[in-house]
Structure 1
Amino acid sequence: MNKRIIPLIMCGGAGTRLWPASREVHPKQFLPLFGVRSTFQDTLIRVSDAALFERPVIITNNAYRFMVLEQLAEIGLEADVLLEPMRRDSGPAIAAGAAFAQTRDKDAIILALAADHVVRDTAAFVAACREGLNAAQAGHIVTFGVQPERPATEYGYISPGDVISGQVRAVAKFVEKPDAETAAGYVKSGYLWNSGNFMFRAAVLLDEYRKVDAGSVETVADSVAKAGSDLGFIKLDTDTFAAAKSISIDYAVMEKTSRTAVVPVACGWSDVGSWHAVWELSDKDGQGNAARGAAVFEDSRNCNVTTDRALVALEGVDDLVVVATQDAVLVSRQKDANGLKRLVATLKNVAPQVTEDHIKVHRPWGSYQSVDNGERHQVKRIIVKPGGRLSLQKHHHRSEHWIVVRGAARVTVNELVKTVHENESIYIPIGAVHRLENPGKIQLELIEVQTGSYFGEDDIIRIEDDYQRT
């Protein structure tokens, strides 16, 4: 009987190729780009059949940990969540996942998946996993080679070699992203897209990694052995993990090992690496236009619009991407993904805030959104989840006035504890120790008016905090 597979979901990347929707603190894997669920959630559902897959392991970072828990809860799944102290690329991340999986099962079989990929044919993907399982158990590091739908220049390719068993082939060679002419030749010669997803025995992957960089493997293993528990998360040890060399799994293992194998699969796969890729995967009108949000097209073709709130109207244009968020608007040519990469690099110098955060900022207790601000005031809309509460805190430079517009708030101001209902308000003076809680079963929504001389987040002096941010 075959072993069940432990899915290892990697979701620590920033995903700025889909700016301005995707940003450093809320990247593309957590966005609902193609329906109501995020690609992270779809990835988890894809590997949720208990007959084949075990409880997943998720590796992410401190900034995304509560988004991970929230999105797991929304789809009714549970997982072990590992927290990287810092980014070290996919090599150390996968090594940490493999070392942790061995604490559950020393003979663990792992399926390492990126959280931001799309698979339109789940049945074909699962069938490929079953096809590759025997090869993985036999000691091969199995990658999934996608049957090309076009001569893509944005993917690396795999040249399949001799048959190992069934549909599983040896890997003759990996090749980097080609130009258009070379890509056409690869497709004609039967090459496969390199999906960057792998299946392997944990022990085999770690042994092959040690041959290249034994020091990094040992420091990562130490970071797992010394990991602590933090609000139910597994927090890898900082000092030991930091000593690992930052490197991708491709360079660390896949391009050097003799144990690689490939399973060809046609499953409607995409790494959603550009707005053009989003357009390709989206429903379109008769003129090839795709829209998420309110959009009107007149004499326009092959355009892609994503908008949070404002109506976007296009007239007399072709092959454009327009992405409108509440604080930024992108207008770009459809196929120039490198141009967007250059633009985001420029923005990081001239306007870094718009690459890092949205106006709506997610917190473990809910979210807040800036509505208006001036030299001596700032207005925010605050949402607190049922049962959620902010830290017990104070400010040195601002006072706050809270007006409840939905639900009921339990408010602490120094020694006073008071319930504030809809259409009621309360004032928090400068220096007062205060806390906001939602004791109800519906979302608490309020408007916060701040007045003072400084409104930075570093003026929050936390005294107690449920999320250990003091």
Structure 2
Amino acid sequence: MGERIVPVIMAGGKGTRLWPLSRAAAPKQFLEFLGEATLFQKTLQRVSATELYEPPIVVTNADFRFMVAEQARTAGVALSSILLEPVARNTAPALAAAATLVARRFGEGAIMQVLASDHEIKADRVYFDCVEKARRAAAAGRLVTFGITPTEPATGYGYIELGEALGDGVHAVKRFVEKPDQARAEELLAAGNYLWNSGLFMLPVAVFLRELRQYAPEVLESAVAAIDNLKGDLDFERLDAESFAAAPNISIDYAIFEKTPIAAVVPSPFAWSDLGSWDSVWKQGDRDDKGNVTDGKVTLIGTENSLVLSKHIHVAVQGLADLAVIASEDAVYVGRIEDSQDVGRLVKQLAAEKSTVHLTETHRTSYRPWGGFTSMLEGERFQVKRLFVTPGKRLSLQRHHHRSEHWVVVRGTAEVTIGERTMPVRENESVYIPQGEIHRLANPGKITLELIEVQTGSYLGEDDIIRLEDEFGRESEVPQA
């Protein structure tokens, strides 16, 4: 075993292919689908072995920064950096910036493993054997990708054709194949020398930077400038916006892997899915004797080969087969499993209508650096929310022009500041904040603080917040406390 690997986790995607659970403000990597951990947290757990890995670098965008920090904290995994992209520029600029940062902090002799935050992987002995083969190939100067052993003629993945054997179970990459149609996918599967392109990599940093310099110099130049002008922001690091925005919008496959002669692939038979559709979630789940995968509040009668998920309302399905039924807090999707890869068309239609666009953007539950809130009830001149505040966190010192608030503590003990006075408010106790009064809510305890907030007033929009002091560096006009 050589030096420890530096994990780089890509966590900035905003896909909505798993709607209604996955939305622009809460994409699939930060959601719990099957089980109690999110896909991002499962990715963190795969790189948590300190004898093998350095603390990971997470590349994400500003919208998700607090979600990344909080989920890492609850997973118990320390991070080396949360690197914020100012604009989306595909994978080549992001990895060029990450590699530049790794070279400066860990040395150019470092090896970095690139992981997607939204893949489901069984991290067993087979998986870690493949990781070790990839590490050795990277140490020998190869840019390595993981090629997943195909189990079906899938049309949703690109393919890699195996080249000459390099030893230790590693092959040169002969060529990359774009996502095929059904007939072509069947041909590739039958040929036996094609693998699914996972988008996962093991890269020797110095070699990777050299190949960027040769094949994608504009990408590298922008990335280096963005790191040169890196700015610290609390526990985050922001890439320079002007420099990073100048980078070409290109994937690492097109920029480097399809051009370099030193690309290698590790044939990887471990269980893997990019969970790109409800069909793939069903295939990855634990099916009962009738082929059903369920999670949450679900009752089935006479139902077969279906995926039924609900963590909020109770869903009962009777006498049906081959369906996906997905219930979120405010929307339900019902469709044939075989059609679930086309959910994107449905989402586009919802996004085009003013009355439904919000269903593609946010959930009733929204997350903030201090915890979050769930919208429970709305009416004329009032709304009710459930607030949850992480231990040790506090909201900004603030006031509202148009509303007053009533807080009822249902779990934990709150520390409430109103004007010049600070007081504890315990379970089953309440407090009133008059319109225009300066106030703050904090959780000094060891457990999550939960309370019910009733807002009343002439205007209840989230932009009616004047922040007087905020430890998270947010401005007054940024929505929500």
What CA RMSD, in Å, does the superposition of the two structures yield over aligned residues? 1.5
Superposed, which structure 2 residues align to 1:251-270 within 5 Å? 251-270=254-273
Quote the residue 2:147 is aligned against: 145
Distance 1:417 1:48 in 2: 41
Output one character per residue of 1:98-124: Cα deviation in whole Å (capped at 9) or x when no partner: 111001212221111101111114321
Report the residue type matching 1:203 in the other structure. Answer: A
Distance 1:316 1:144 in 2: 41
The alignment status of 1:363 with 2:365, answered yes or no, reads no
Quote the residue 2:104 is aligned against: 103
The alignment status of 1:209 with 2:212, answered yes or no, reads yes
Superposed, which structure 2 residues align to 1:32-431 within 5 Å? 32-79=32-79, 80-104=81-105, 105-190=107-192, 191-350=194-353, 351-431=356-436
122-131 vs 211-220, which moves further: 211-220
Report the residue type matching 1:177 in the other structure. Answer: K
Quote the residue 2:24 is aligned against: 24
Distance 2:49 2:72 in 1: 15
Whether the 8 Å contact between 1:210 and 1:217 is mirrored in structure 2 is yes
Q: Look up the SS of the partner of 1:198 in the other structure.
A: strand
How many pairs align?
A: 470
Output one character per residue of 1:173-230: Cα deviation in whole Å (capped at 9) or x when no partner: 1101112221111112121111110111122223323334322211111111211211
Report the residue type matching 1:26 in the other structure. Answer: A
Q: Which runs of 5+ in 2 are unaligned?
A: 476-481
Q: CA deviation at 1:44?
A: 1.9
Distance 2:298 2:8 in 1: 38
Quote the residue 2:478 is aligned against: none
Q: Look up the SS of the partner of 1:313 in the other structure.
A: strand
TM-score (norm 2): 0.94
Q: Look up the SS of the partner of 1:17 in the other structure.
A: coil
Distance 2:289 2:111 in 1: 46
Spell out structure 1 runs of 4+ moving beyond 6 A. none
Whether the 8 Å contact between 2:96 and 2:219 is mirrored in structure 1 is no
Quote the residue 2:479 is aligned against: none
Report the residue type matching 1:448 in the other structure. Answer: E
Quote the residue 1:466 is aligned against: 471
Whether the 8 Å contact between 2:278 and 2:341 is mirrored in structure 1 is no
Distance 2:31 2:156 in 1: 22
Q: Look up the SS of the partner of 1:50 in the other structure.
A: coil
Quote the residue 1:447 is aligned against: 452
Q: Look up the SS of the partner of 2:133 in the other structure.
A: helix
Q: Which runs of 5+ in 1 are unaligned?
A: none
Q: CA deviation at 1:345?
A: 1.3
Q: CA deviation at 1:297?
A: 2.0
Share of identical aligned residues, percent? 49
Residues 407 and 53 (structure 1 numbering): CA distance in 2 closer, same or farther, change over 3 Å? closer
Output one character per residue of 1:369-412: Cα deviation in whole Å (capped at 9) or x when no partner: 11111121111111112211110111112111112222222212
TM-score (norm 1): 0.96
